[in-house]
Amino acid sequence: MKKSRGSSVALAGLVGGLVVGGWWLGRGRDDPATGAKEEPAYADASDDFDDTSDEPGDVVVDFADDVDSAYVEHLGARLGVRFAPDSDYVDHDRIYRARVDPDGERALLDTLRADPKVEAAEEDLTLSIPEADLEGEPEGIRDTASEQRGKFPNDPRFNEQWHLAQIHMPDTWDAAKGEGVIVAVIDTGVTRTQDLQQTEFVPGWNFVNNSANTDDDHGHGTHVAGTIAQSTNNGVGVAGVAYRAKIMPLKVLSAQGSGSVSGIADAIRWASDHGAKVINMSLGGRMGSQVLGKAVKYAHDHGTTVVCAAGNDGKGKVSYPAAYAGAVAVAATQKDEATTFYSNWGKEIDVAAPGGNTRNDPTGGVLQNTMFQGKDDYYFFMGTSMASPHVAGVAALIVGQGITDPDAVERVLKETARQPKGGKSVPADFKQHYGAGIVDAAAAVRKAQLGMGGFELSAAGALAALVLGRLRRRDLLARFGLGGVAALVVGASGLFFLPQLHVHAPAMALLSHGFPAWDQALGASWHGNLLFYSALAPVLLGVLFYGFPRLRGLIAGFALGVAGHLFAQAWLGAVDIRWMPWDHAWLVGNGLLATAIAYVAARK
């Protein structure tokens, strides 16, 4: 009879876990409406991008990563060409350029593609900034401090940033600020303007001049970086989405706003290998590139969320790299939440975000601080280039909550996106223009915090019910004690609901996350650390304190909490485990080990 009651408790716990898990997962990872994009063909997608190479005879070759320099040099000598790197990073990614006679280019490419050590070979195209991105006028620094004095944020011109209100940022900052998340801005560089002085930067690279100087000689990249992480609540200028995130400036576009595919592909790999958890690319081109597509896939497969502008042609073709599977393609909206006249559309669109429209309203663009035409000022720009960093910033907020797997980040973005206001302006082919809808920062962070935390705690509770059922006990508190129950919560989820209650407390990152996610205290780029996402801590506690009977309830509770956290992550696929190619097997195996430790401790 007791066994039957224990089984009922276990069943109730499992049902509770599945209900919460189902809520978090929404329509599921494999639903065609929210799943990954089909890999598009390499096709013409825009007439407004300049894709003719600056050097018509240049080709780009992506060799296998295990190829050495001697092989590349020998092959070049045999083919009569000189392979040269775009940057010092060539020793890692093996991407080379070669200048060839245009008449012999096709034959050379055919020969290279037949080489088993060549992964891709093609003409080195040029990608660029859509001209619409630069439409807008400097607005200057106006004294509106009185309007914001005593408010949060206290940036004097925040009230002009309609675009942050559109994605519900004012309702988000109490719960998330993007602490420690590295966001790579692959663009024209980033200059440390007056309103980026308090924003944290990490070292980047200049792939145009092959140097460490990543200053912006154009203005586009600095404006983009401001949307992502403008210094906020500093009493100066304007605000940014994830203002506690770290900016990694990677210059791939020249002062004229264009750059080679080879340099951009180098930068994507560089960013992912140097700790960037989010990449923003507000650039594009009409032709697909195998080298570029492989670089996007590399970053995605290495745990980096790639966010890209859809393009400014006003046509039904999404530009590259946004069109690639593995990239989050972003369309642009304006003040009234309609999609803009210039925004590209198509089945590859994932979400929409504010890009602005200054044609009839000079203040209808996205307002950020940048250095443009030699002047450090505040500019309203418009373009899908302005929409993309809003999404990259929200992605950083999600990553900051412990969801680091790119597919899981994209899933949260889509499942929390909202419908635009004013149904009359919504096109019949809604998904091709908006994707899942307008990105909603508050809803995304809420789902990341409550959904994942609730699922982790439910999973731990279900495991506790199973263990109690096996031991023919029904009373969790009597078996583990109050300390054991508290230890279960600490191990599983922490007080995950605190940020949504706008509670401010020291060590909030530790209080509001389960023990495995405490690795975020080392920095967001460390999240998924093997030492934390394992049964190591329960094993050590068991070895050290099993001999103390009064502590066995604590050991059992903590071990069950950690096991629940690991099983939840194995199911959700939300965390990319660092240095481990078999995430699922690792999490399940360590979850079983932690459960076994709990069972042994609870028996006595």
Active site (catalytic) residues:
187, 220, 385
Q: Give Cα separations from 244 to 183, 192, 233, 394, 465 (angstroms).
A: 11, 15, 11, 12, 40
| Torsion, Cα of 106, 108, 109, 111 (10° steps) | 120
Q: What SS3 state is found at 308?
A: strand
Residue with tokens 């495995």: 516
Task: Please count the residues of the chain.
Answer: 604
Phi-psi region of 383 (alpha: psi -120 to 50; beta: other; left: phi over 0): left
Asked if residues 568 and 493 have their Cβ atoms less than 8 Å apart, the reply is no
Q: Give the residue from 155, 151, 217 showing the smallest Cα distance to 189.
A: 217
What's the token pair of residue 449? Answer: 């915090």
CB-CB contact of 472 with 3 (8 Å) = yes
Q: Which helix (H) or strand (E) is 106 found in, with range?
A: helix 105-114
Alpha carbons 289 and 268: distance in angstroms, whole number? 14
User: In angstroms, rounded to a whole number, what is the distance separating the alpha carbons of residues 29 and 348?
Assistant: 17
Peptide bond between residue 102 and the one before it cis (omega within 30 degrees of 0): no
For 144, other C-beta atoms within 10 Å of its C-beta total: 14
Phi first, then psi: give them for residue 515, nearest 5 degrees: -50, -45
